[in-house]
């Protein structure tokens, strides 16, 4: 784990690193966190899977456990600054540590954890693009068993950047204004599937209405990701082929049995060019450019605040709010679950007319 030695990237740590880049980083300079999370209906238990298979030196970050309690019982809300600092101390993280976050889907919950670190001013933080599956596909080492203890550090209580988090009252107020008519209104980008946004498919949480926040735009987080087949032998693909068949050679190797049930495909970030295309398809060219230039606020929302992190990350990678240029992207912390649980919330189903 990190000893506070900083990172080869200095203070300008990238938003995402590749497995090859991570392997080149000195272990003492990096704090690795597994921030895997699964839907409540999933039988998978990320903390148990972490013990069975992980990147060497990683710690498990339970986004639900560190979260602040919520009046509606919502999970993985932004933690209090004190709770964030305590978690960092327990992981051996200092303000100088380069924190690299991954998950077992590829790219799913790690952007939400990255958002948390960046919102508390820890800019020396990145996600591992492709997560644990990409690490395995590149033939990188793993470990299992209970992690070795780390030396507790001191992490000063940080200040939350409140401008990157939206609450219910702010979203309701914003929903009264058509952003195509009111230049001060934030653009709300909904990361759920288009079917849930339109109200034609049910929510995964029983009893919760589907539909969308008035004047919001649909931008499914999947539109910002690619899928890759999980191959555990890509690292050997560059090995030279034998000059002639060898009858004594074993048959093609079979994938080793993994101790955790990884999916056959995993997600990686699209190129920024293709991310840009997805944002333009959702907003139209003119509004997309206003948002990416930081002239208009943008708020990512999803089912419960988790995959909104993917939209937030894409906007950051496209330059929104970088180097202090205009407004940066924000996340509606409660997202659709908190919004739709309240009976007074206006809900739109179907397409909205846009002028």
Examine the domain organization and report whether 171 and 134 are in the same domain.
no
The domain that holds 333 is classified in CATH as 3.40.250.10
pLDDT digits (tens, 9 = 90+) for 125-144: 999 999 999 999 999 999 99
**Secondary structure class of 167 (helix, strand, coil):** coil
With 60 as the cut, is the pLDDT of residue 241 above it? no
The average pLDDT across 229-250 equals: 45
Q: How many CB atoms lie within 10 A of CB 287?
A: 19
Q: For the chain, state the CA radius of gyration.
A: 21
On whether both 112 and 195 belong to a single domain, the answer is no
Q: What is the pLDDT of residue 116?
A: 98
pLDDT at 244: 35
Closest by CA position to 79, among listed 88, 94, 69, 89: 69
Which residues lie closer than 8 Å to 237 by C-beta, 6 or more apart? Answer: none
Q: How confident is the model over 90-123, as pLDDT tens digits?
A: 999 999 999 999 999 999 999 999 999 999 999 9
pLDDT band for 324, please (50, 70, 90 cuts). Answer: low
Same-domain status, 82 and 192: no
DSSP result, 4-25: S---TTTT---SEE-HHHHHHS
pLDDT for res 10: 61
Among the residues of 153-284, which ranges form H helices?
168-174, 194-198, 272-283
Q: Are residues 185 and 83 in the same domain?
A: no
Q: Looking at the domain assignment, is residue 258 inside a domain?
A: no
Instruction: Give the chain's domain count.
Output: 2
Query: What pLDDT, in 10s, does the model give residues 49-77?
Result: 999 999 999 999 999 999 998 888 899 99
What per-residue confidence (pLDDT) applies to 27?
84
DSSP 46: H
pLDDT for 81 beyond 60: yes
Question: Does residue 24 sit in the same domain as residue 37?
Answer: yes
Mean pLDDT of 25-32: 90
More confident residue, 323 or 269: 269
pLDDT of residue 199: 98
* Structural domain for 154, as ranges: 16-160
Looking at the fold, whether 78 and 123 belong to one and the same domain comes out as yes
- Domain edge (last residue) among 110, 125, 160: 160
Residue tagged 């976050």 (tokens):
101
Residue 25 predicted with pLDDT over 80: yes
Buried b (16+ CB within 10 A) or exposed e, 34-70: bbbbbeeeeeeebeebbeebbbebbbbbbbeebbeee
- Among the three residues 160, 175, 207, which one is the final residue of a domain in this structure? 160
Q: Is residue 295 included in any domain, yes or no? A: yes
Mean pLDDT of 199-219: 96
Q: Is residue 67 part of a domain?
A: yes
Residue 198 resides in a domain: yes
In the beta sheet, which residues pair with residue 102?
A: 34
pLDDT at 41 over 70: yes
Tell me which residue has tokens 């890759």: 228
Residues 87, 212 within the same domain: no
Tell me the two tokens of residue 151: 């030396």
**Residue 74, in any domain of the structure:** yes
HSE-CB of 306 using CA atoms within 13 angstroms: 22
| pLDDT value at 245 more than 50 | no
Assess whether pLDDT exceeds 70 at residue 11.
no
> In this structure, are 302 and 192 located in the same domain?
yes
Cα gap 288→194, rounded to integer Å: 19
Which of these three, 160, 184, 208, is where a domain ends?
A: 160
pTM, rounded to two decimals? 0.91
Backbone angles phi, psi at 295, to 5 degrees: -85, -20
Is 240 a member of any domain? no
Mean of the per-residue pLDDT values of the chain: 90
Share above pLDDT 90 across residues of the chain, in percent, rounded to a whole number: 81
> Does one domain contain both 114 and 219?
no
pLDDT digits 0-9 by tens, 149-170: 999 999 999 999 999 999 999 9
Within a domain: residue 102? yes
> pLDDT value at position 352?
86
Co-location of 203 and 278 in the same domain: yes
Same domain, residue pair 211 and 123: no
Does some domain include residue 5?
no
Q: Are residues 152 and 170 in the same domain?
A: no
């Amino acid at each position: 784990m990190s000893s506070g030695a900083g990172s080869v990237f200095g203070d300008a740590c990238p938003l995402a690193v590749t497995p090859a880049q991570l392997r080149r980083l000195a272990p003492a300079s990096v704090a690795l966190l597994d921030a895997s999370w699964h839907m409540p209906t999933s039988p998978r238990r990320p903390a148990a899977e972490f013990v069975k298979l992980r990147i060497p030196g990683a710690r498990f970050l339970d986004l639900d456990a560190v979260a602040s309690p919520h009046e509606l019982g919502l999970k993985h809300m932004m933690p209090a600054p004190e709770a964030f600092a305590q978690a960092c101390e327990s992981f051996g993280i200092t303000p100088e540590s380069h924190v690299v976050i991954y998950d077992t889907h590829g790219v799913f919950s790690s952007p939400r954890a990255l958002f948390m670190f960046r919102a508390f001013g820890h800019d020396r933080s990145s996600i591992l693009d492709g997560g644990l599956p990409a690490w395995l596909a590149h033939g990188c080492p793993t470990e299992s068993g209970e992690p070795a203890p780390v030396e507790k550090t001191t992490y000063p209580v940080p200040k939350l950047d409140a401008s990157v988090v939206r609450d219910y009252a702010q979203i309701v107020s914003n929903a009264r204004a058509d952003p195509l008519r009111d230049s001060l209104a934030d653009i709300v980008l909904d990361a759920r599937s288009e079917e849930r946004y339109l109200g034609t498919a049910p929510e995964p949480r029983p009893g919760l209405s589907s539909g969308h926040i008035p004047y919001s735009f649909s931008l499914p987080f999947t539109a910002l990701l690619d899928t890759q087949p999980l191959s555990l032998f890509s690292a050997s693909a560059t090995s030279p082929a034998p000059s002639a068949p060898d009858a004594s050679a074993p048959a093609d190797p079979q994938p080793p049995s993994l101790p955790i049930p990884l999916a056959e495909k995993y997600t990686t970030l699209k190129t920024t060019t293709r991310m840009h295309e997805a944002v333009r398809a959702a907003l139209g060219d003119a509004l997309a450019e206003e948002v990416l230039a930081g002239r208009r606020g943008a708020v990512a929302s999803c089912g419960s605040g988790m995959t909104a992190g993917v939209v937030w990350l894409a906007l950051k990678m496209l330059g929104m709010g970088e180097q202090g240029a205009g407004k940066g992207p924000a996340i509606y912390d409660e997202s659709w679950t908190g919004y739709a649980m309240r009976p007074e919330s206006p809900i739109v189903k179907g397409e909205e007319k846009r002028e």
